[in-house]
Amino acid sequence: MREELFRLIQNHAYRFREEPFTLASGKKSRHYFNCKEITLHPERLELLCKYIVQKHLPETGLDGAEAFGGLTMGADPICFGISLEFRKQFKNVFPLIVRKQAKDHGTKNLVEGGVNAVKSCVVVDDVITTGGSTLQAIKSLRDAGLEVKACICILDREEGGKDAIEAEGIRVFPLFKKSEFGSLE
């Protein structure tokens, strides 16, 4: 499964061009990983979440997690997919959505989902560069009263994000690292 996911990322999510892309972090790079090409494609998302639940979580000791949550929109399909994969095992594992900012109406919550049903969660992101989005999600999840146990992501760009997240006491378990895709930059 991991080899197939790697091939899908290489063929569908990875882009290279001489004119640099601007990343969410504001950094520039000639290498871009658009993991939405995996997470917003039903067949690819199904394989990703099956791999996460059956292999990645047990290997990292995170298979007992109560919930998975992260900043919308990168984490949303992953969290939903993980939750549905666990349902196949008759387990309720809650997806949590972390808003980028609170609504100005209703409950005004930053975190939506089964917040009151769980005590802890694993934070999720698709790609980690500087860790800014993941750190924002961690703060919101903690502010909602949850213990953040660890972090998983599809790809660690190896540009300081993992270190920044681990400085917050959260271990990061990427499925892949940028360096696995060859000598990039």
Sequence ranges of the binding site: 99-100, 103, 105, 125-133, 157
Q: Is 98 left (phi over 0), alpha (psi -120 to 50) or beta?
A: beta
Binding residues for orotate, by number, are 129, 157
Buried b (16+ CB within 10 A) or exposed e, 135-170: bbbbebbeebebebbbbbbbbbbbbebbebbeeeeb
Rounded Cα gap, residues 9 and 144, in angstroms:
33
Contact between 151 and 31 (Cβ < 8 Å)? no
Binding-site residue set for 5-phospho-alpha-D-ribose 1-diphosphate: 99-100, 103, 105, 125-133
Structure tokens at 143: 């502010």
